[in-house]
Structure 1
Amino acid sequence: MRSLILLLLLPFAAGAQSPAENITKVENNLTGWVSIENEPPVRWNIEERLKAHKVPGITIGVIKDYKLEWAKGYGYADKESKVPVTPQTLFQAASISKSLNAVGILKLVQDGKLSLNEDINTYLKTWHPSADSGKITIANLLSHTAGLSVHGFPGYEPGDTLPTVEQILRGERPANTREVKPLFAPGVKMQYSGGGTTVTQLIETTVTGIPYDQYMQKEVLGPLGMTGSFYTQPAPANKIPLLATGYRVDGTPIKGKYHIYPEMAAAGLWTNPTDLSKYIVETQLALQGKSSKVLNQAMTKTRLTPYLNKNAALGVFIVNGQRYFNHNGGNEGFRCVYYGSLENGNGFVVMVNSDNFNIIDEVTRSIAITYGWEKDFYRPDTVTSAALPADALQQYVGKFKFRNVMVTIEAKDGRLYAITNNGTMRMHYTTKGDFVLLEERGRLKLVNGDLVASDGGESIVFTRQP
């Protein structure tokens, strides 16, 4: 009987991959959005892509079966000082801040201090939306259905005078964004609004009397075990050595290393994949009724239920066939993303200290290939390559411009290469008479001498330059 059991278990044991093996596979299977049918698959490693994209550093965490399987950093947190990225390095989470903010606001709902569907003017004392806004609720604010303005925030350089939350909402100096005001009636449609999220920050401090960062530390980050993370702006002195420096697409550092975000609820969280994985796993367990460190099962279900359309829930988006909760982030010099499955306890976090998001997409595809999650994260378009007629090669060579974006096309060894701020990319000619780039989604084609980029029916014309 024992030998039979061992025989039955053998295939499963043989097929299992250790975390170390999975790390190696993720590191070496980065790939593009398209598969070229009659050519060998293109695979890159992380170090190659960091260099190609001019991205100083990246940090990755993968969750499997309700546990963080591994977290690892690559490249530099500060390339000028040669400070390496480690699993403890803190990155700006940007709009991922909104997911944790929603946990904090819904904790107040759960405790009976707020109502999801009450008019927010019930709670506000020092600022109110315009009188003609209609009834705006907490649920509207968290699901981006309040009809309010201001998509996002640029932040402030170190040393700048920081505005109060009320000044931000009024658009008054020293705030560097416009007034948060109604654009349309609440509950009509979803339109992303960091301004609306900032209203929830004011509601929290008004209702509790506790500074926002302190409330989030005590009621959310602490209970979740996110001991390295914080919302405080500017950063506490003891955290500064762990902070990554942000960089532009061309690889130059942000002035002052990073911006400061008094709009803490919308963009102020500093964290890393290790800590964010604790939030993801707790959400997954709470949804199953197996944990309630902050929110109980009922409130977690409410948070993960799309409010008006099929994707926008409360502080999260429900995506990939309604199988994952997710949020992306983009502050000055930082980009990031997380996904958590609604079943089976899987997910991942990827964060970079760069304005370039492309490597995040490439790592996402590598994770999908490694863990067998292709149906959710890697379904490449397939094209067939063709030989570009030699007499057509030079027709494409030149410089092309759309607004302030320049694309330079060069010929080398019988092939064409597109050069942009994102690096040099080979152009693959297809049987449809156009080109694809592995790194950039869409198709390129010459039309009346200009370069036309199209993707899903939308086209942009890059005008040939003299």
Structure 2
Amino acid sequence: MRRSSSSAMRPVASPVLSWCRAARGSSCAASNSLVRGLRAIQRGEFMRYRRGKWHWLVAIWLAGTATAAGQSEAVRLAQAWRHIAAFVRQQMTDSRTPGLALAITNREGLLHLATFGHADPAARRPVTPETLFQIGSISKSFTAVALLQLHEEGKLKLDEPLVRYWPWFSISSAHPPFTVHHLLTHTAGLPRDRDDIPSSWFTVWALRERVTGAAPDAHWAYSNVGYQVLGYLLETLDGADYATILRRRIFQPLGMHRSEPTITFAARTRMAVGHQTAYDDRPAHRSHPLVPAPWFEYGAGDGSIAATPAELAAYLRMLLNRGAVPGGRILSEESFALLTQRAARARGERWYGYGLEVWEKDGHTWFGHGGAMVGYRAMLLGNLHEGLGVVVMTNGPGAPDRIAEFALECVRAALQSRPLPELPERVPPARVENAADYAGTFTAPDGRQLRLVASGDRLYLLHGGQRIRLERRGRDRFYAHHPDFALFPIVFTRAPAENGSGPVTEVHHGAAWFFNERYTGPRTFAVPAEWNAYEGHYRTANPWLSNFRVLTRKGKLWLVFPSGEEEELVPLAPGLFRVGSEEHSAERLQLDAVVEGRALRANFSGVDFYRTFTP
């Protein structure tokens, strides 16, 4: 006769009994007594067993309660892992991310590790827990941690200028000298990059050719150059090379044995292959194929680490423990406070400490930092109050910050027995809920027209007998998938209003500018004759920023980056411009070598770019 599957027909498999059976083979001497007690209860022999053994029954009940709670938490976490995986796959599809690794940790240990996609799609090599990813600027906090260790050892004073350690150091400045603290907090007034110099001490020497943009501590301006300088200062003070210093001071104590402190050819085959879009001179679009990104060695203090997900999570775990590790400390409490101080307001409500952003959310202190290398993106995020953190690494386009935030919210919800957050709605790029704001006819000073029409939540550009559907790229920014509009975004301007949502009055695309009937400003503009020589497309052999364009619009000269972001060029001297309208900007553009009415060279903060043949 077939047995019924009803639980009433068989003994209930107690989780406590299972626990006791597991414990019986251990050193727990009480486990056999626990098993006998539980069996007595199951046989209905409680009265016989209880004399002298009631305390064991209490222990059994408590163990059962704890086990049930543990199983319930495990179930909730398993649901969270599945939910996170669904979100990751959604984001990878939307961003066309080739491969991704994710690790979640608390203060005690690794909670979850997951890998997705391919480290090398061409070879069908999957991402594994051992795959190395370049983590970019997350490396900055490693540099800061090592310097703080030297500070603890009395070898470094944070409030001293660099000439204390390098008497030969020089930079052009009208302000007091900046200190190590200012470099660590991006408040030294330095330019952002010097990517034509390949991980070389010459970066420090070459600062004598640059100028500071503001007094120390006056403004926050992100500077990779500053952390490159700090990496070389670390070598001076420690006496070893940067890679050796990080291995000895941070990697070895944390068990980061597979990760690499510098990016070298020796480790290349263990790394995921970075990817970028095929076009480097225009805003990216889904129609652009992905190609392997340029690969190069890197060993400077602003972003040279390649890590596995679990080992980067071990570093994050040290931060969640405020510098403590099993058996000792990487940083003292005082140094950790310096690392996570609110030294300078970075963006919005976020502050910058030493290599980390710090902010408050829901009454908790959060910290983190993003990272980007050519073909890679990464994010490190931690909740200091709850002791939870996540790292996300990709080898191509993607949104690791968005994934990290969602993953951590899922874990918090699971541990607090709250419902998991819903998967965010996937908003089509072509959805423009306020499409009517932009509809109308816009006219250029020379009479050319740009016509836009709204149809529900879609916005169309009428051009050459076609209706080109626009895709949103920001609040008032759009992309038109058409060859005539491929090089620049379409950007609208609104009339001033207290709430920032005045009516749309202007639109521009590159140098082309149009206005509608609501525009009341000037319609013609005079520009210096010599500016005509500066307009054009400039290139260099730099994998980070390979090209940009210079153009005039509405009487101003503009520097336009491939992404479509742009900065005003403010004249300082003939051929010399400050990059950006802010007076504290340290970036400069020098245009020279004018031949037959065209500038042939543009020096951007020390990096030479040359006029090229493409528009």
TM-score for both structures, normalised by structure 2 = 0.56
Aligned counterparts of 2:256 and 2:386: Cα–Cα separation in 1: 22
Aligned residues: 393
Q: Is the 8 A contact 2:95 2:397 kept in 1?
A: no
SS of equivalent to 1:253: strand
Q: In structure 1, give the amino acid aligned to 2:384.
A: L
* Per-residue deviation, residues 342-396 of structure 1 (Å, max 9, x unmatched): 2232010111111433x64145324413532899x9899999x99999x952894
Partner Cα distance (2:225, 2:310) in 1: 28
Q: CA deviation at 1:273?
A: 2.2
**Match 1:303 to one of 339, 358, 374:** 339
- 2:243 aligned with 1:185: no
| 1:201-280 equivalences in 2 (<5 Å) | 201-233=231-263, 235-237=264-266, 239-249=267-277, 250-256=288-294, 258-262=295-299, 264-280=300-316
How far apart are residue 58 of structure 1 and its match?
Answer: 0.8
- AA matched with 1:16: E
Instruction: Flag the 1:278–1:362 CA change in 2: closer, same or farther, 3 A.
Output: closer
Cα pair 1:120 1:138 within 8 Å, conserved: yes
1:281 corresponds to: 317
Change (3 A) 1:126 1:370: same
CA distance in 2 between partners of 1:55 and 1:289 (Å): 34
Structure 2 contact 107–320 (Cα < 8 Å) conserved: no
On the 8 A contact 1:66/1:344 being kept in 2, the answer is no
The 5 Å alignment of 1:34-433 reads: 46-130=88-172, 132-150=174-192, 152=193, 162=198, 164-167=200-203, 170=206, 181-233=211-263, 235-237=264-266, 239-249=267-277, 250-256=288-294, 258-262=295-299, 264-286=300-322, 292-309=328-345, 311-321=351-361, 323-357=365-399, 360-362=401-403, 364-372=405-413, 393=455, 396=458, 398-399=460-461, 409=469
Q: Which has the higher contact order (CA 8 A, sep 6+)?
A: 1
Distance change (3 Å), C-alpha of 1:386 and 1:195: closer
Q: Distance in 2 between matches of 1:398 and 1:6?
A: 65
**Equivalent-residue separation in structure 1 for 2:422 and 2:182 (angstroms):** 34
1:69, distance to aligned residue in structure 2 (A): 0.7
AA at the equivalent of 1:228: R
Equivalent position SS for 1:66: coil
Whole-Å separation in 1 of the counterparts to 2:210 and 2:129 = 37
Please give the alpha-carbon distance, in whole angstroms, between the structure 1 residues aligned to 2:159 and 2:119.
Answer: 43
SS in 2 for 1:183: coil
2:455 counterpart letter in structure 1: L
Q: Which moved more, 1:324-333 or 1:366-375?
A: 366-375
- Structure 1: 5+ residue stretches without partners: 31-45, 173-178, 402-406, 410-417, 421-439
Contact 1:106 1:299 in 2 (8 A): yes
Instruction: Measure how far apart 1:183 and its partner are.
Output: 1.1
Native 8 Å contact 2:139 2:305 kept in 1 = yes
Q: CA separation in 1, counterparts of 2:301 and 2:166?
A: 16
Check whether the contact 1:324–1:342 (CA below 8 A) recurs between aligned residues.
yes
CA distance in 2, matches of 1:367, 1:231: 27
* 8 Å contact from structure 1 (residues 336, 351) kept in 2: yes
How far did residue 26 of structure 1 move? 1.0
| Alignment CA distance shift 1:180-1:78 (3 Å) | farther
Aligned counterparts of 2:138 and 2:191: Cα–Cα separation in 1: 19
Post-superposition shift, 1:225? 1.7
CA-CA distance at 1:294 after TM superposition: 2.1
Q: Could you tell me how far 1:168 is from its partner in structure 2?
A: 6.0
- Structure 1 pair 279–366 and aligned structure 2 pair: CA distance change class (3 A): closer
| Structure 2 counterpart SS, 1:187 | coil
Letter in 2 for 1:245: V
Q: 1:128 to 1:388 in 2, by over 3 A?
A: closer
Classify 1:457/1:153 alpha carbon distance in 2 versus 1 (closer, same or farther; 3 Å).
farther
Q: 1:220 to 1:330 in 2, by over 3 A?
A: same
Separation of aligned partners in 2, 1:260 and 1:217: 18
Give yes or no for contact 1:330–1:355 (8 Å, CA) kept in 2.
no
TM-score (norm 1): 0.72
Distance 1:143 1:293 in 2: 23
1:16 counterpart (73, 96, 118): 73
Alpha-carbon distance, 1:462 to partner = 6.4
* Unmatched runs of 5 consecutive residues or more in structure 2: 1-57, 278-287, 437-452, 479-489, 513-615
**Conserved? CA contact 2:378–2:394, under 8 Å:** yes
Residue 66 of structure 1 aligns to which amino acid in structure 2? E
Query: Cα–Cα, structure 1 residues 16 and 463, in superposed 2: closer, same or farther, change >3 Å?
Result: same
After superposition, the Cα gap between the structure-2 partners of 1:118 and 1:366, relative to the gap in structure 1 and judged at 3 Å, is closer
Letter in 2 for 1:59: A
TM-superposed deviation, 1:136: 1.6
Shift of 1:20: 4.4
> Which residue of the partner structure matches residue 427 of structure 1?
none
Q: Are the structure 2 counterparts of residues 108 and 395 from structure 1 closer, same or farther at C-alpha, using a change threshold of 3 Å?
A: closer
Structure showing greater radius of gyration is 2
Distance in 2 (alpha carbons) for counterparts of 1:286 and 1:149: 32
What do residues 136-180 of structure 1 show as CA deviations (whole Å, max 9, x unaligned)? 221111111112112x465x7xxxx836222465169xxxxxx55
* Bigger strand share: 2
Task: Give the distance between the partners of 1:453 and 1:362, measured in 2 at CA.
Answer: 32
| Pairwise CA RMSD | 4.1
Partner SS for 1:114: coil
Matched, 1:26 2:66: no
Say whether the 8 Å CA contact 2:318–2:325 is kept in structure 1.
no
Q: Distance in 1 between matches of 2:395 and 2:461?
A: 29
Kept in 1, the 8 Å contact 2:220–2:344? The answer is yes
- Using a 3 Å threshold, how does the CA distance of structure 1 residues 463 and 185 change in structure 2: closer, same or farther? closer
CA–CA separation in structure 2 for the residues paired with 1:165 and 1:15: 56
Q: CA deviation at 1:332?
A: 1.4
Report if the CA contact (8 A) 1:303-1:314 is conserved: yes
1:332–1:112: structure 2 CA closer, same or farther, 3 Å change rule?
same
Q: What SS does the corresponding residue of 1:267 show, helix, strand or coil? A: coil
Change in 2 beyond 3 A, CA 1:399/1:365: farther
1:180–1:196 contact (8 Å) kept in structure 2: no
